[in-house]
Structure 1
Amino acid sequence: MSNKVIICGYGWLGGYLANALETRSLIATTRDKTKARTIQENGITPVLYTLGDDSAALASHFHRATLVLNIPPGRKKPELSEFTQQMKALIDKAVKAQITHIVFISTTSVYGDANNGVIDETSTPQPETASAVAHVAIEQHLLFHATHNHCKVNIVRLAGLTGPDRHPINSLRGKTLQAGNKPVNLVHVHDVVAALTSMIAQVPTQKVFHLCSLSHPKRGEYYTHAAHQRNVEAPEFSDTELPLHGKQIDASQSWQALGITPEYAHPNQMI
């Protein structure tokens, strides 16, 4: 356990995490000078950093720190080899500087959409998008360091992330969509933060974690209900009446390993 935590990629999730870690020495990266001033006003040491830039200023904080690596690649980019190489290079520099612990924020999209049924932490990734391929490559690079360089590593595969100010219905309302019988895989930011703070404090030996709710209603049923609850136009889904079909992210073992019962165990609690 390190008392110094670096949040590399201080975005929406990073803000929630920083609030929960306020008793620790915090460093956070941002690409925006205005945001850097806000970060500093909140008692956090800001580092202006864009992936691919000179990382000397950031690297000066690596020694004996915990690094939460949360830099998204951008969903719509068709080619991410440069992003992947830059992330690997940053990880290499952190390991060389004797980082204590790396927590990588990954995604359950590494399993693709071809999978059907229950997916647990031992399931083999089947990435289908450029982003998923990049995440798998970065995960494998981290696991190499964990094995060969004795670096403590935790990979956190997040389901769809929701929170008090973020929910998928906001972008789905009024749309006509397919596959209403696919399972919903969501996780609330408060449960994610509880898991991350536990990992930072205890550094579990388990390498790969799933963070997802414990229930998986059909998309067509759930988002119709969510729209009614929020008083917005409901999306229309095809195939909702068909049997449930698609990947269900099983996070039960991960929650158990962390000693956490998710507060938002059912997606209905996230609306």
Structure 2
Amino acid sequence: MSSKSRISIVGYGRVGLPLAKALKEKGYDVTGTVTGSEKRDQLVAEGLDTHILSFDPQPQGNLAAAMEADVLVITIPPSMRAPQDYPAILESLADAAANSGIKKVLFVATTSVYPQTGDEVREEDATHEASPFLGFSWLPLEETFTQRDEFTTTVVRFSGLMGGGINPGMYFAGRELKGANDPVNMIHIDDCVGVMAAIIEQDVWGEAFNASADKHPVKRDFYTKACESAGLPVPVFSDEPSPYRIVNCDKLKQRLGYVFKHSDPLAALDG
């Protein structure tokens, strides 16, 4: 892809902002969105083209500016305050992309699209089963984009995020955690950025990719270390079984030739 291609990132957040900085360093023309003027002014001062865009669930702000691109990257997660609005938000973005003439979309999804069967899951194992965390299925959300004819979409399904200021131990500090010996699926923000940049640079569209670190430490080891490294109380572990899945990333590594920067989440907690 030409270095002159314009990339628009809806959601300069935990994944979107470091991706923007990485792509800009590679010579791409990058624009993106935040929800408030203070953050916009800060990023503009840092040299990042930034516009205000929020949803209630209809778009509020400069949606048109976000659609002036060759590639649209969507990195906005569901709001925990109003997760029921998420499908309508994505629908409005898909409609806007279709009307704008954008031909390539990269949508950040989650491995919650897979059932927790205790087995390895690959891209073709996605189901319409509802996520226990959100109460709705992720697959129709992906299909909001993948089933459109006006553009071609690649979906990247991330496991639990870590790094870049995200300590996964904070969610479980001092709490009871079942399935102490079950494996965890994590991905470092550095690898989120690396995977997405690889998709854009290699011009790979119309695909779905799992993105999760190669190694899967058990909950007891991972969350003990995560909490201790942050000075948080360690979870109270129970060996009582808990549903889980092991995310397989062979397709990502074979199709993109991607090598994880942080292949072992346990080691990645060291810094």
1:192-207, aligned counterparts within 5 Å?
192-207=192-207
**Partner Cα separation in structure 1 for residue 44 and residue 227 of structure 2:** 38
Partner of 2:114: 111
**Partner Cα separation in structure 2 for residue 95 and residue 141 of structure 1:** 11
**Partner Cα separation in structure 2 for residue 229 and residue 83 of structure 1:** 34
**Partner Cα separation in structure 2 for residue 251 and residue 132 of structure 1:** 26
Match of 1:70 among 68, 75, 84: 75
- SS in structure 2 at match of 1:169: helix
Q: CA deviation at 1:186?
A: 0.1
Partner of 2:162: 162
Residue 172 in structure 1 maps to residue 176 in structure 2: no
Partner of 1:26: 30
Amino acid at match of 1:84: P
Contact preservation (8 Å) 1:26, 1:45: yes
Provide Cα deviations, 1:219-254, integer angstroms capped at 9, x if missing partner.
1232224445555432221117x7x97210111221
Partner of 2:95: 92
Q: CA deviation at 1:56?
A: 7.8
Q: CA deviation at 1:61?
A: 4.9
Alignment TM-score, normalising by the size of structure 2 = 0.87
Partner of 2:43: 39
**Partner Cα separation in structure 2 for residue 17 and residue 94 of structure 1:** 20
**Partner Cα separation in structure 2 for residue 83 and residue 118 of structure 1:** 28
Partner of 1:269: 267
Partner of 2:213: 213
Q: CA deviation at 1:60?
A: 4.3
Residue 191 in structure 1 maps to residue 191 in structure 2: yes
Residue 83 in structure 1 maps to residue 86 in structure 2: yes
Match of 1:140 among 140, 143, 159: 143
Residue 127 in structure 1 maps to residue 130 in structure 2: yes
Partner of 2:223: 223
**Partner Cα separation in structure 2 for residue 252 and residue 200 of structure 1:** 19
Contact preservation (8 Å) 2:68, 2:100: yes
Contact preservation (8 Å) 2:146, 2:152: no
Partner of 1:259: 257
Amino acid at match of 1:262: F
Unaligned runs of 5+ in 2: none
**Partner Cα separation in structure 2 for residue 269 and residue 130 of structure 1:** 27
Amino acid at match of 2:16: G
Q: CA deviation at 1:74?
A: 1.9
Q: CA deviation at 1:66?
A: 0.9
- Structure 2 CA distance for partners of 1:176 and 1:132, relative to 1, 3 Å: closer
**Partner Cα separation in structure 1 for residue 198 and residue 142 of structure 2:** 20
How high is the sequence identity, in percent, across the aligned residues?
24
RMSD over aligned Cα atoms: 2.4
User: How many residues are treated as equivalent by the alignment?
Assistant: 263
Q: CA deviation at 1:170?
A: 2.9
Contact preservation (8 Å) 1:64, 1:100: no
Contact preservation (8 Å) 1:59, 1:94: no
**Partner Cα separation in structure 1 for residue 133 and residue 95 of structure 2:** 22
- Structure 2 CA distance for partners of 1:226 and 1:86, relative to 1, 3 Å: closer
Alignment TM-score, normalising by the size of structure 1 = 0.87
